[in-house]
Amino acid sequence: MSGDHLHNDSQPPQVSALPRGGNGDPVEPAARPRGPFPGPDSSRESRLVDGPSLSCGAIQNSHKHKDKHKDREHRHKEHKKDKEKDREKSKHSNSEHKDSEKKHKEKEKTKHKDGSSEKHKDKHKDRDKEKRKEEKIRASGDAKIKKEKENGFSSPPRIKDEPEDDGYFAPPKEDIKPLRRPRDEDDADYKPKKIKTEDTKKEKKRKLEEEEDGKLKKPKNKDKKVPEPDNKKKKPKKEEEQKWKWWEEERYPEGIKWKFLEHKGPVFAPPYEPLPEAVKFYYDGKVMKLSPKAEEVATFFAKMLDHEYTTKEIFRKNFFKDWRKEMTNEEKNIITNLSKCDFNQMSQYFKAQSEARKQMSKEEKLKIKEENEKLLKEYGFCIMDNHKERIANFKIEPPGLFRGRGNHPKMGMLKRRIMPEDIIINCSNPWSKFVLSTFPLSNLAFGVGSLQGEKDWQKYETARRLKKCVDKIRNQYREDWKSKEMKVRQRAVALYFIDKLALRAGNEKEEGETADTVGCCSLRVEHINLHPELDGQEYVVEFDFLGKDSIRYYNKVPVEKRVFKNLQLFMENKQPEDDLFDRLNTGILNKHLQDLMEGLTAKVFRTYNASITLQQQLKELTAPDENIPAKILSYNRANRAVAILCNHQRAPPKTFEKSMMNLQSKIDAKKDQLADARRDLKSAKADAKVMKDAKTKKVVESKKKAVQRLEEQLMKLEVQATDREENKQIALGTSKLNYLDPRISVACCCPFMNVPSVDSLIKTEQLRTILFPSTISGFHEGPPSGGLTPGFLSG
DNA sequence: GTGGGGACTTAGACCGCACAAC
DNA sequence: GTTGTGCGGTCTAAGTCCCCAC
């Protein structure tokens, strides 16, 4: 690869920004990201922020960076000023409300004498509260609107009650040893080693083993579709052979991820192609030719015309404001009302293009595929130390309109085209992500995928460490429910929710910058309802709030009496929009957790409880004598239990109703067939009774078999319907990818797969595909067994 | 001590492909 | 051969957590 080299070979890393040729010699200066689509002015330098060995251009660029920072600060100040103004305005109109709030605060002051140091830290929260109240009043009846926008989904009843310690993550016999030898800090002469590849003989042996193991091939049950082991199809053999086994490498010192890095930079979005002359834009019924810039932004809107977004007031308002910024003065004078704009021809044009793409011949599709593969080969990989690594996200996000989720205040805003000069190559630290930018509304993550594997492994190791002390932590927070300090009580109740319900931590968010979503620490009084008794259960807490991605969390949970009483106390004399845990934030909570266990944060509980739920469910649902399709079904059910716990929802598939109807008609048809077959059997039996000969007996037998076959088919269809219905709004992928320790799945599979070791099982392509989708493209690859034995479930 | 921002992780939507069913 | 369906991959939004400057 002859791209930019970032050579990092000592501690602190000495970075050479000089690109090198294929032989390692320096070539052209300036680490500029290059891509096939450098934009209209590709000669402009990208910015480079670096350590001591910065080039001249880079220093200038770092000034730019400072300017940008100042700019941001300025914008922020302006924003604050605006907010102050707004607050002033609403103060006048809502003085009455303010008075009552003042009274409430005075009450609070006298009430919470228990912690003097807690008073001032509430300032920030109070400010937020004020803002929220004012926003609410301005929005007049916001609560009602919120109710309307919610998707009406009710979280199914909790699967988990109180996770028991049943041996999840049995600790490995020996302590975790560093996998890599820590290099000396002055190891300046470090040179990339020869690329380590999987031994070809081993590879052949492995493939032979797989072929021999008939059981691991595609199950015969066709009703349950199993993904093909198509890794080989997708991955060239060479690449397979060059798979890097990080777990067999020595470790760098803490914080060092790499010492040698070579990559070709990101790929820029293709330049804008103006619309054909025939495609017209109309304003107020008259044809209007737009300038290229204005036309490009208009096409973003036109492409979304069928989407609900374009009917939303905030979206339209934000879009129109940003669109006008791209217009010429003349256009600005004419186009003053978005409702008078007719984007229909544009929209039709893009639909036709999309349709044409679908209708392309095989050859044309293949050509495009090859081009994409070429691009991936050239820009999608880097050389990191001594191995080839896939880059997670090498394409720069194309320009478009921001689609916030939920009621996002910035939806519809323009995400403008990113130019080479917007890119900063930050090679002053050996980070996993080395191209950054300060762009609003754009995510420029440019990460090296496989570093993720090690991180994932560490994540699950932390969860396993939590297992060792979770009882102690639970006892501690139970004790803290009785604390004299309000802060401690709040922390203990919040932690109980995080542990019991797998709630997210709930960081504070900047008002007006994002949708109004909350997590545990940021819950407000309005988000819970207390029921001393509900549906025959005592002390029930009803949660109803919008969490991450504006996904509704709705749940009724019976809690312990002391928790219930504490919640009543926390809610006393508070308004609905007040913080439930007014003396708590994620910083305080995580600091406390760090004291309980090194590396423990709120989200570790989510990982821990998700994985232990999977383990418990697998234990309950799987039986040793089940066949593989049944095992897979059980696995999916266990997976579903975790998804429910973590509240991973999805919008029902667009074709859901139709596909359910199709399935139902199949079931009906099958029932008819079965009824006919039963009738036939009955009459055959009657005939046999009269005739009493071998021929009629044979007929009876075949009719019996037909009935049995149809009964089985009907049962399968009905199971499928139930399965599909249960999965309607549940997303399984997220938990599979992020929360479930793969070793649990592997260990669960070993006994019934008749596989000698975890290692040989994980090499089985089919299982890898089902259980660990993230490993397909070489991402998130982890150590095969991580020191676990197949029997660790019982340990 | 606090706020802001960067690094990193988690998340759902969408799209295109492969394959089963008809 | 056509259609419906499920799946993985990609994209990008939105969280968590931590560090640093003020």
Nearest residue (CA) to C1' of B7: A433
Closest CA to A350 of A309, A310, A305: A305
Q: Predicted confidence band at A238 (pLDDT cuts at 50, 70, 90)?
A: very low
Nearest residue (CA) to C1' of C6: A225
Mean pLDDT over A640-653 rounds to: 89
Closest CA to A743 of A249, A215, A164, A169: A169
Evaluate if the CB of A532 falls below 7 Å from strand C: no
Closest CA to A297 of A247, A252, A331: A331
Point out the nucleotide closest to A441 (alpha carbon to C1′). C13
CA-to-CA distance for A577 and A714, rounded, in angstroms?
52
Interatomic CA–C1' length for residue A296 and nucleotide C19, angstroms: 40
The pLDDT assigned to A593 comes to 95
Structure-derived torsion over alpha carbons of residues A249, A254, A259, A265, reported in degrees to the nearest 10: 110
Mean pLDDT over A217-221 rounds to: 32
What are the backbone dihedrals phi and psi of residue A631, each rounded to the nearest 5 degrees, phi first? -65, -45
Interatomic CA–C1' length for residue A227 and nucleotide B18, angstroms: 9
What are the backbone dihedrals phi and psi of residue A284, each rounded to the nearest 5 degrees, phi first? 55, 40
Q: Which residues partner with A395 through β-bridges?
A: A267
Closest CA to A562 of A470, A477, A502, A501: A477
Evaluate if the CB of A575 falls below 7 Å from strand B: no
Q: Which residues partner with A531 through β-bridges?
A: A540
Give the global pTM: 0.71
For A382, A633, A716, A771, the CA distances from A221, given in Å and listed in that order, are: 42, 12, 10, 18
Point out the nucleotide closest to A358 (alpha carbon to C1′). B16
Question: Look-up: residue for tokens 């392309």?
Answer: A360
Interatomic CA–C1' length for residue A115 and nucleotide B2, angstroms: 20
CA-to-CA distance for A506 and A520, rounded, in angstroms?
5
Characterize A100-110 residue by residue with b for buried, 16 or more Cβ atoms within 10 angstroms of its Cβ, and e for exposed. ebeeebeebee
- What end-to-end distance do the CA atoms of chain A give, in Å? 49
Q: Which positions 95-124 on chain A have a beta carbon less than 7 angstroms from any atom of strand B?
A: 120-121, 123-124
What are the backbone dihedrals phi and psi of residue A616, each rounded to the nearest 5 degrees, phi first? -65, -45
Evaluate if the CB of A590 falls below 7 Å from strand C: yes
Pairing of strands A387-390, A341-342: unpaired
Please enumerate in sequence order all residues whose Cβ is within 8 A of that of A696, keeping only pairs 6 or more positions apart, or say none: A684, A687, A688
Evaluate if the CB of A739 falls below 7 Å from strand B: yes
CA-to-CA distance for A683 and A689, rounded, in angstroms?
10
DSSP letter string, A356-410: HHHT--HHHHHHHHHHHHHHHHHHSEEEETTEEEEBS--BPPPPEE---SSS-TT
Closest CA to A295 of A345, A337, A259: A345
Number of residues that make up chain A = 795
Interatomic CA–C1' length for residue A671 and nucleotide B13, angstroms: 37
Token pair of A88 as six digits: 């002033």
Check: CB of residue A605 under 8 Å from CB of residue A613: no
Point out the nucleotide closest to A403 (alpha carbon to C1′). C13
Higher-pLDDT residue of A67, A376: A376
Range in A68-72, A243-247, A381-385, A601-605 with the lowest mean pLDDT:
A68-72
Which ranges of A502-653 would DSSP assign to H, the alpha helix? 561-571, 586-596, 602-621, 628-645
CA-to-CA distance for A545 and A552, rounded, in angstroms?
6
Interatomic CA–C1' length for residue A403 and nucleotide B16, angstroms: 22
CA-to-CA distance for A520 and A131, rounded, in angstroms?
20
pLDDT at A265 > cutoff 50? yes
The pLDDT assigned to A779 comes to 32
Evaluate if the CB of A716 falls below 7 Å from strand C: no
Structure-derived torsion over alpha carbons of residues A330, A331, A336, A342, reported in degrees to the nearest 10: 150
- What is the per-residue pLDDT across A518-559, written as a single tens digit (0 to 9) for each? 999 999 999 999 999 999 999 999 999 999 999 999 999 999
**Positions on chain B within 7 A of a protein C-beta:** 1-14, 16-22
- What is the per-residue pLDDT across A23-52, written as a single tens digit (0 to 9) for each? 332 222 223 333 333 333 333 333 333 322
Interatomic CA–C1' length for residue A434 and nucleotide B5, angstroms: 16
For A249, A499, A504, the CA distances from A559, given in Å and listed in that order, are: 47, 12, 18
Check: CB of residue A308 under 8 Å from CB of residue A302: no
Nearest residue (CA) to C1' of B5: A438
Token pair of A725 as six digits: 């219905």
Interatomic CA–C1' length for residue A410 and nucleotide B13, angstroms: 18
**Positions on chain C within 7 A of a protein C-beta:** 4-18
Interatomic CA–C1' length for residue A576 and nucleotide C14, angstroms: 25
Nearest residue (CA) to C1' of C18: A587
Check: CB of residue A385 under 8 Å from CB of residue A240: no
Q: Which positions 456-495 on chain A have a beta carbon less than 7 angstroms from any atom of strand C?
A: none
Question: Look-up: residue for tokens 């009907």?
Answer: A714
The Cβ-side half-sphere exposure at A626, using a 13 Å CA radius, reads 18
Token pair of A233 as six digits: 């199809």
CA-to-CA distance for A431 and A442, rounded, in angstroms?
20
Query: What 3-state DSSP class applies to A287?
Result: strand
Evaluate if the CB of A390 falls below 7 Å from strand C: no
Token pair of A564 as six digits: 């219930």
Closest CA to A490 of A547, A568, A598, A553: A568
Sheet holding A424-426, edge to edge: A47-49, A424-426, A435-436
Evaluate if the CB of A459 falls below 7 Å from strand B: yes
For A318, A401, A577, the CA distances from A323, given in Å and listed in that order, are: 8, 10, 35
Interatomic CA–C1' length for residue A512 and nucleotide C14, angstroms: 15
Q: Predicted confidence band at A428 (pLDDT cuts at 50, 70, 90)?
A: low
Interatomic CA–C1' length for residue A539 and nucleotide B4, angstroms: 41
Point out the nucleotide closest to A357 (alpha carbon to C1′). B16
Which residues of A are known to be catalytic?
739
pLDDT at A108 > cutoff 90? no
Please enumerate in sequence order all residues whose Cβ is within 8 A of that of A483, keeping only pairs 6 or more positions apart, or say none: A489, A492
Interatomic CA–C1' length for residue A106 and nucleotide C16, angstroms: 34
Which 8-state DSSP code applies to residue A717?
A: H
Q: Which residues partner with A352 through β-bridges?
A: none
The pLDDT assigned to A94 comes to 36
Mean pLDDT over A401-422 rounds to: 88
- What is the per-residue pLDDT across A626-638, written as a single tens digit (0 to 9) for each? 766 677 778 888 8
Q: Predicted confidence band at A755 (pLDDT cuts at 50, 70, 90)?
A: low
Mean pLDDT over A176-196 rounds to: 32
Evaluate if the CB of A443 falls below 7 Å from strand C: yes
Q: Which residues partner with A221 through β-bridges?
A: none
Range in A117-121, A199-203, A550-554 with the lowest mean pLDDT:
A199-203
Determine if the peptide bond prior to A29 is cis (ω within 30°): no
CA-to-CA distance for A27 and A23, rounded, in angstroms?
10
Token pair of A760 as six digits: 């040989």
pLDDT averaged over chain A?
A: 68
CA-to-CA distance for A460 and A604, rounded, in angstroms?
9
The alpha carbon of residue A152 and the mean position of all alpha carbons in its chain are separated, in whole angstroms, by: 22
Token pair of A283 as six digits: 């304003």
CA-to-CA distance for A201 and A508, rounded, in angstroms?
55
Point out the nucleotide closest to A75 (alpha carbon to C1′). B4
Check: CB of residue A427 under 8 Å from CB of residue A17: yes
Nearest residue (CA) to C1' of B3: A124
- What is the per-residue pLDDT across A485-509, written as a single tens digit (0 to 9) for each? 999 999 999 999 999 999 999 999 8
Q: Which residues partner with A7 through β-bridges?
A: A16, A260
For A163, A232, A373, the CA distances from A366, given in Å and listed in that order, are: 51, 18, 10
Q: Which positions 212-231 on chain A have a beta carbon less than 7 angstroms from any atom of strand B?
A: 222-223, 225, 228, 230
Q: Predicted confidence band at A425 (pLDDT cuts at 50, 70, 90)?
A: low
Nearest residue (CA) to C1' of C11: A397
Evaluate if the CB of A403 falls below 7 Å from strand C: yes
Q: Which positions 164-223 on chain A have a beta carbon less than 7 angstroms from any atom of strand B?
A: 222-223
pLDDT at A460 > cutoff 60? yes
Check: CB of residue A646 under 8 Å from CB of residue A555: no
Query: What 3-state DSSP class applies to A17?
Result: coil
Cα dihedral across residues A744, A748, A750, A753: positive or negative: negative
Evaluate if the CB of A519 falls below 7 Å from strand C: yes
Check: CB of residue A307 under 8 Å from CB of residue A373: no
CA-to-CA distance for A31 and A17, rounded, in angstroms?
6
DSSP letter string, A221-274: -SSS-----THHHHS-HHHHHT---GGGSPPPSTT---SEEEE--PBPPPPP-P
pLDDT at A581 > cutoff 90? yes
Please enumerate in sequence order all residues whose Cβ is within 8 A of that of A729, keeping only pairs 6 or more positions apart, or say none: A153, A649, A650, A651, A652
Interatomic CA–C1' length for residue A236 and nucleotide B3, angstroms: 49
CA-to-CA distance for A45 and A63, rounded, in angstroms?
14
Evaluate if the CB of A433 falls below 7 Å from strand B: yes
Mean pLDDT over A443-453 rounds to: 54
Range in A293-297, A323-327, A392-396 with the lowest mean pLDDT:
A392-396
> From the CB of residue A720, how many other CB atoms can be counted at a distance below 10 Å?
16
CA-to-CA distance for A101 and A130, rounded, in angstroms?
9
Q: Which positions 337-376 on chain A have a beta carbon less than 7 angstroms from any atom of strand B?
A: 354, 357-358, 365, 369
Evaluate if the CB of A200 falls below 7 Å from strand C: no
Evaluate if the CB of A655 falls below 7 Å from strand C: yes
